[in-house]
Structure 1
Amino acid sequence: YEKLVDSDDLAAIKEAEKLLETTSLPPVPMMLGKETQRNTGIGITHIHHFFTTREHLFVALLINKIKVVKDSGIRVMLMFALTSSLPYTSRMRRFRADRKGGGPLSGTLYVSSLITPPHVLRTFERNAKTIGESLVNPVSKLRGQVVSTQSANCLPNIPENSVDYIFTDPPFGHNFDYSELNFFWEAFLSVFTSQTSEAIVSTSQKKGVEEYRHLMEACLQEYYRVLKPGHWITVEFSNTKAAVWNAIQTALERCGFVVANVASLDKKQHSFKAVMTPTAVKQDLIITAYKPNGGLEERFEQEAETEEGVWDFVRTHLKYLPVTKHQGALLQFVPERDSRILFDQMVAYYVRKGYPVPISSQEFQIGLTQRFIERDGMYFLPDQVAEYDRKKMTSGGMTETVEMFVKDEASMTQWLRQLLKQKQQTFADINPQFMQQLGGWDKNEAQLDLRELLNQNFLCYDGKGPVPEQIHAYLSSNWKDKCVFDLVIDFGTSQSPKSTRPLTTYLCPSRPGHQALRNNF
């Protein structure tokens, strides 16, 4: 239904403005920060500016009604119903042509150019009904659940060695401005996040990667304290920055955890940014680590300065590692079972405990071959080998793995070339694999981001402007019958800008710019 604004509409707005003189939201100014302050340019300097006149009045009246409810339990639940409605009752409720109604864009305080007028009371009543129905059958106190909202760097109510398993989805460095986004709700509750201890990479908070690592380490130390020996922690993480990824892994190891596995998780349901942005991360990485059991710790005190202590650690560590990894019906190489990764883990354990490493890398490689069984470049315990051989026989074989051990910029560049020769992949496809390879990176080598490596070693064309001469010459000779989209070609070490001997072709998803390429060929 469409209509032009008439005199009745204007009168209703004026009436609402008059009522706001006596009943309105408190004028809470937006906090300092990138996420909140970028709205200043469009006139949003206070929380109530997120609402139109009518919605502002409705929300203010509802808050006043909720405040006079005598039962504190019901009052809290009603406030919960209201605050959870706020994005859908504000100017952030954008118009969506693909579905009935509309909704906010998650992960940002975004006001669309075309908003959908919400019905505040109806939205509030719907939320209240849902919450009420969920509380009809209260959870039994005998089951022992504890729900807590607090900083993870201080968990005084949880005893040491009492938790069986920890799953954590920590702040992803600089992906989101968490406290700034929460401010929209916190302003109505008058309870605000303390940004001092917020684990984030933020220019507005003057926090870099090192500050982020220290804050995350404080939380992981508490996780280590409360987790039972021999038990597991799973860390879900997503970031394209190698430095941020390295900060998380370093913090885990410094706290005493031993990383056993790094795998990618495709969540299938992607965010708007992940769907629309070719370079956005579409998969999270899952770090699986364990707290060494008491038996190893006690034995290590006796054996630390002997070679037997080394093999006791390796033997225990191999028990925790996955025997196989799968990619569909094919088996994948398990990098954590690589001899060089095993050596790094052993050295890290000794350094963390404050003991000198009793053997050299060469002696370790020889001893590893003598004491453990090798299959496809991986080392196993005797009982694990039988399982690996059985699964290999019943699988579709091994994936085409890049056998190269990545430890610095040169080997990483070569790894990228081999990877792209096997299969054309997007940035989002490559990034999770790239992050996993950083586990073996030389500690003395500065880590580069994937974008830096691609920009420095690969020729990129995004479908805009003239096609580079190298791509034009190559496609004219080799791809006459193909409809080519966005393309990246690696010209190896050739110094000539007109070289036509590419080593790798890298095809991205099609974009509107594909027509320009089609016209050129």
Structure 2
Amino acid sequence: MFDINKFLNINPNVDDLLNKGISHITEAYHDSIKAGKNSYAYDAHTYHTKVPPQGIEILIKYYTKENDVVLDPFCGSGMTGLAAIRQNRHVILSDLSPAAVFIAKNFTATYSVEAYKKAIDDILKQLASLEKELYTTQCAKCAQPTIQNYTVWSYGLICNECNEEFILWDVARDEKPSYKESKILSQFQCPNCHKVIKKGKLKRTKLNPVSIGYKCCEKGLKDTVHVPTAQDFKALQEINTIKINKWYPKNKFPSGVNTGQLINHGLDSIDKIYTHRALIALAEIWDSCINYKVAALRPLLMWTFTSLYQRVSVLSEFRFWGGSSNTANYNVPQIMNEQNVFKTFKRKANTIVLHLDEIKQHLSKKHISVGSATDLSHIPDNSIDYIFTDPPFGSNINYSEMNFLWESWLQVFTDNTKEAIVNKVQGKGVQDYKALMTTSFSEMHRVLKNDSWLTVVFHNSSGKVWDAIRNSLYDAGFFISDAHIFDKEHGTFKMFVSDNAVGYDLILHCQKNDLLVGHAVVEKSIEDFVREMMKKSDYVFSFIHVERNPETNFRKLYSEWIAHQIVSNNINISFDNFRNIVSKIIEHAKTENASCL
């Protein structure tokens, strides 16, 4: 059996990492950072927010030298640790969430690739007969048994006009020759009364299997699908009678902003977010991981399991272009994609192998622990050479709620008392958030060496939250020297289609120097700023998944404006207000141009 608390608390003495060197960096890093998400490390294990480690490496290399100590007290998945190790720096990481620390410890650890591959094979061979029992279907072409890759499930809905039930998949599916153009309609005719209705306003009934995907028959045949047969329905009925003998979590979801979505759909405990079939498979795999014969590999095998996150749950939304995503919310889709748990586990293991191959043995020392950024008492005063951190973004992500799924499997939970967040269920507003961030930055200021640097990555569309962060830094004693954009290159779907999301992170370069005082720069008006910046073509962009004409990139423009203003001005203008002002400026400019024709 695996002792999770022992694993989380194994660390060297902090004093063994420290040195007495001083900083010789007098100026902030001046360039914007551009680093993509497509890397083995980035793909190995999901987390709600991750800064690409190759981007962090640029800053670590600039601000520190080999054997210096880097700190991240909001470490999340541990990307700062990974970047520090690659640059031969020692690193101290901490996070309020035990799940985050578990993920970070494994991300920064080195394991035998061959031993890991053998362990994965051992587990899958041991459970091969169970996979056949749970996922066998009959090929529609050759009538031979084959293993399913996935099953699509659709909720039944009740028409709000005629009160008749129908299956959403049968009515709203709009398939095109190109999967990129295929979609589930949000508005359609009821198959019974023929009135036009909107799916988002309809009452749900139960989930129904509507499509089974697999590969079979001819060599090189692409994915094949068929509508579930009577034999498939019978198999599912039999599977639903199987008793689960291995342990699995049954923890009740706590009340929360995100967890409320689940509870409202009747999914009030961890076990209810899985199909019975998936839960059978997950319980068996988890048991095999925590009891694997080579004890040293158990954390890595468990990490492979936790990398599945929402992908194997009923929260995995069906997408015509394949796969599934892990999102920072608990949205319950009307059409979900139930993946074969064993195949998904194997795919994630293959990705992790690529990451392990990339991590070389290193001499860097690591101290990774569970703890609040408001209390860094395990670190001496004036001992850290550089801090890179990506703190919570106001109310953007409710980490303690989103990590509850992982922590239920691990059976260690976040104490959210000191979670820096804006969350109405926790009773925390912007001022509470500011107070917690001020305490956290004050602790960072205490442990950082004089004249050394703190880099803060931040992303939020609320002017009040930006103002809270800026004032927290100043109240803690930091001087904000400069600010630039951190471009992660590949935007998320939400970033591209949401009018209220700022799509670019800022990096704030802050120095600990008691002799420095805040300085003011002459404020350019928003209109002058926008007119100048709009001359550049990179403020217009096309959408990837949505058919819309190219538009002004308000998100990037807003981030650039904040980067320009944050070192000197009180930023209390939201993205909505900024967008309205810029829209008027653009319309006025169009009128001016037209009058010149």
Q: Does 1:217 align with 2:438?
A: yes
> What is the alpha-carbon distance in structure 2 between the residues aligned to residue 138 and residue 260 of structure 1?
34
CA apart distance, 1:21: 5.7
**What does 1:217-256 align with in structure 2 at a 5 Å threshold?**
217-256=438-477
Report the identity percentage: 30
Partner of 1:428: 555
The alignment partner of 2:367 has SS state of coil
Q: Compute the displacement of 1:212 (Å).
A: 0.6
| Structure 2: distance between partners of 1:134 and 1:433 | 34
Q: Secondary structure at the match of 1:110?
A: coil
What's the CA shift for 1:111? 3.5
1:489–1:506 contact (8 Å) kept in structure 2: no
Residue correspondences, number = 351
- Mark the CA change 1:266 to 1:68 in structure 2 (over 3 Å): closer, same or farther: closer
Cα gap change, 1:113/1:137 in structure 2, threshold over 3 Å: closer, same or farther? closer
Deviation at 1:145, TM superposition (A): 3.0
Q: CA deviation at 1:17?
A: 1.8
- Cα distance, 1:8 vs. partner? 2.3
**Are the aligned partners of 2:394 and 2:421 in contact in 1 as well (CA < 8 Å)?**
yes
Corresponding residue SS for 2:236 = helix
Decide whether the 8 Å contact of 2:558 with 2:578 is kept in 1. no
What is the aligned partner in structure 2 of residue 32 from structure 1?
A: 255
Deviations 1:220-277 (CA, angstroms, capped at 9, x unpaired): 1221122111111111111111111111111111111111102222221111111112
Give yes or no for contact 1:94–1:102 (8 Å, CA) kept in 2. no
Partner of 2:572: 447
> Quick one: distance in 2 between partners of 1:91 and 1:116?
7
Determine the C-alpha separation between the residues in 2 that align with 1:113 and 1:290: 49
**Counterparts of 2:445 and 2:277 in 1: how far apart (Å)?**
51
For 1:127-167, what per-residue CA distance to the aligned partner results, in whole angstroms no more than 9, with x for missing partners? 34555676689865743233334322223333322222111
Write 1 or 2 for the structure with the bigger share of strand: 2
1:417 to 527, 534, 545: 527
Residues 1:283 and 2:504 aligned together: yes
Residue 49 (structure 1) aligned to one of 252, 265, 272: 272
TM-score with structure 1 length normalisation?
Answer: 0.61
Query: Looking at both structures, which has the greater relative contact order when contacts are Cα pairs under 8 Å and sequence separation is at least 6?
Result: 2
Q: 1:405 aligns with which of 499, 513, 523?
A: 523
SS of the residue corresponding to residue 386 of structure 2 reads strand
Separation in structure 2 between the aligned mates of residue 290 and residue 225 of structure 1, nearest angstrom: 12
1:120 maps to which residue? 341
SS in 2 for 1:288: strand
What are the superposed Cα offsets for residues 89-124 of structure 1, whole Å, 9 maximum, x if unpaired? 2223333333xx411242222343333331212222
Instruction: Please say if 1:489 is aligned against 2:588.
Output: no
Q: By how many angstroms is 1:287 displaced? A: 0.7
The answer to whether the 8 Å contact 1:281/1:428 transfers is: yes
1:188 match = 409
- Cα RMSD over matched residues? 3.1
Call closer, same or farther: CA 1:140–1:421 in 2, change over 3 Å: closer
**CA shift in 2, pair 1:139/1:148, >3 Å:** farther
Q: Match of 2:569, as an amino acid?
A: W
Residue 13 (structure 1) aligned with residue 13 (structure 2)? no
* Distance in 1 between residues matched to 2:467 and 2:347, nearest whole Å: 44
Which SS does the other structure have where 1:203 is aligned?
Answer: coil
Unaligned runs of 5+ in 1: 301-312, 315-340, 345-377, 379-403, 407-414, 459-487, 492-501, 508-521
Which amino acid is the alignment partner of residue 11 of structure 1? K
Of 414, 419, 428, which aligns to 1:207? 428
- Residues 46, 176 of structure 1: CA spacing in aligned structure 2 closer, same or farther, 3 A cutoff? same
Q: Alpha carbons of 1:67 and 1:238: their partners in 2 closer, same or farther (altered >3 Å)?
A: closer
Larger radius of gyration: 1
Match of 1:373 in 2: none
Amino acid at match of 1:165: Y
- Cα gap change, 1:158 to 1:224, in 2 (>3 Å): same
Q: Which residue identity is paired with 1:75?
A: R
Secondary structure in 2 matching 1:97: coil
Kept after mapping to 2: 8 A contact 1:283/1:428: yes
Q: Residue deviations 1:313-367, cap 9 Å, x none?
A: 57xxxxxxxxxxxxxxxxxxxxxxxxxx62x5xxxxxxxxxxxxxxxxxxxxxxx
Moved more, 34-43 or 208-217: 34-43
What one-letter code is carried by the residue in structure 2 that aligns with 1:93? S
Query: Is the 1:417–1:503 contact (alpha carbons within 8 Å) kept by the matching residues of 2?
Result: no
2:138 maps to which residue? none
CA distance in 2, matches of 1:24, 1:6: 32
| CA–CA separation in structure 2 for the residues paired with 1:130 and 1:453 | 41
Determine which of 315, 331, 347 is the counterpart of 1:110.
331
Report the Cα distance in structure 2 between the residues aligned to 1:129 and 1:67, rounded to whole angstroms: 20
Residue 398 of structure 2 corresponds to residue 177 of structure 1:
yes
Distance in 1 between residues matched to 2:359 and 2:568, nearest whole Å = 49
Q: Distance in 2 between matches of 1:130 and 1:450?
A: 37
Q: Shift of residue 291 of structure 1?
A: 1.0
Distance 1:137 1:157, change over 3 A: farther
Tell me if the contact between 1:279 and 1:427 (Cα under 8 Å) persists in the aligned partners.
no
Q: Any idea what SS the aligned residue of 1:251 has?
A: helix
Partner of 2:545: none
Return 5+ residue gaps in structure 2 as ranges.
1-223, 536-551, 593-597
1:286-325 matches, within 5 Å, as 286-292=507-513, 313=516
Q: Do structure 1's residue 90 and structure 2's residue 318 form an aligned pair?
A: no
Higher helix share: 1
Q: 1:257 corresponds to which residue? A: 478
Distance 1:234 1:41, change over 3 A: same
The CA distance in 1 between the partners of 2:291 and 2:528, in whole Å, is: 68
